[in-house]
Structure 1
Amino acid sequence: MTEIKQVDGQPVRRRRADADRSRAATLAAAISVLGESPEASVESIAAAAGVTRQTVYAHFPSRDALLVAVADQLTGELLAEYGRLDLESGTAMDALLLLIDTGRRFSEQHPVRLYPAAATGDDQRHQPINELLTKTIRRGQRTGEFTKELPATWLANATIALSHAAADLPARKATTTLHTTLRRLLLGT
């Protein structure tokens, strides 16, 4: 799976291109298959990826390790989407709701509900999202748009928790309910 190369006189392991492709195919297949059937077996994922079960285990030593990798992959993709958003135009509430709505659309496209299954490192995984929400909330607090009575970090954590809770509602109701709740929370009304 890896080859050893010398860099500055030190051995460096480098993954072969075919190993990178099989790993990427496995992750893509896992996202797709688990989105359809969260309890899908490693064998099902391997078949969808066009690799053997042993190849999956060569990249991911356990099903849980695969779930963590999928959660990390999806988090990275979501953060890339967030990076393409214009969060500085408009109000802080507009920016916050844009973040929330982008996250919801992303979750609808990738319905894999892996965070409970891949709880290891979950706080770390949420950290960049939490920081982005906190930054947006602090902006709203500086401009007087959001309440200053509650700490921005607490409001960001509450926003994440409310977003997760809204996932259990039908899509239209979830968006309306979440927007209404966040406005009341952040505006202090």
Structure 2
Amino acid sequence: MSGSADRSRRADARRNNSAILDAAVRLLDAQPDASLDAIASAAGVTRQTVYAHFPSREHLMAAVVQRISDEAVAAMDAAEPDNGSAADALIRVLEAGAQTAGRYPVLIQQIASLPVSPHVDEERHAPIADRINRVIQRGQASGEFDNGLPAHWLAAITIKIGHSAGEEVDAGRMTQTEAANALRTTLLRVLRPRA
């Protein structure tokens, strides 16, 4: 096979992969039980092409999780985590991640319900936790945040509290605004330096 044909085949594979993931994210957020046939049709490819890229629904879901995580990380990076006060940066970073998740409410709930090992869950959250950890370390270095506890622990707590805020909204017990205010207040109390 010539180099040109090989490059063309790889470009087609990348386009198909992207089209499948776009369709999967869109369809699974609207219809969590959408079949692989429906995803293939929405992507404009055959079912065999879907299986060539993703040998099982589990592989496809893992790629969907990665796609949403990458989108959230890009939004968090665009929120300028290294600028301004650490408290303001942390809130901006969390809001950016929440806005991304908010675009896929049904899909995020579906992903959260999938049974995964603690190791897989940690890997899934690692890029997000790294960004939160970096802001917390900056706040600890400046004296804005408590440095008596490890930054990675405070980042883990931050993620859990963020999930709790989202769950309150999903359950209808809080509005988005109420949850955002509660999240900010709680985090600033948790992270505040001890007297």
Cα deviation, residue 85, structure 1 = 2.5
Structure 2 CA distance for partners of 1:14 and 1:62, relative to 1, 3 Å:
farther
Counterpart position of 2:173: none
2:35 pairs with 37, 41, 46, which one? 41
Letter in 1 for 2:77: G
Offset at residue 88 of structure 1 (A): 2.5
- Aligned counterpart, 2:114: 117
In the TM superposition, residue 148 of structure 1 has moved relative to its aligned partner by: 1.9
1:97 to 79, 91, 100: 91
Cα 1:145–1:44 change in 2 (3 A) is same
Q: CA deviation at 1:188?
A: 5.3
Contact 2:168 2:179 in 1 (8 A): yes
Deviation at 1:98, TM superposition (A): 0.4
**Deviation by residue 1:67-125 (Cα, 9 ceiling, x = unmatched):** 00011111112222222232232210000000111011111123321244373733223
- Matched to 2:25, the amino acid is I
TM-score (norm 1): 0.85
Aligned residues: 181
Q: 1:86 to 1:185 in 2, by over 3 A?
A: same
Question: What secondary structure sits across from 1:168 in the alignment?
Answer: helix
Aligned to 2:147: 148
Matching of residues 1-189 of structure 1 within 5 Å? 15-111=9-105, 112-113=107-108, 114-117=111-114, 119=116, 121-170=120-169, 171-187=176-192
- Alignment deviations for residues 18-59 of structure 1 (CA, whole Å, 9 cap, x no partner): 222121111001111111122322222122212222221111
Letter in 2 for 1:179: R
Measured in 2, the distance between the counterparts of 1:116 and 1:129 equals: 19
What is the aligned-residue identity percentage? 41
C-alpha distance in 2 between matches for 1:15 and 1:123: 35
* C-alpha distance in structure 1 between counterparts of 2:58 and 2:155, whole Å: 28
Structure 1 residues not aligned, in runs of 5+: 6-11
Contact 2:76 2:94 in 1 (8 A): no
More helix by share: 2
The answer for the alignment partner of 2:172 in structure 1 is none
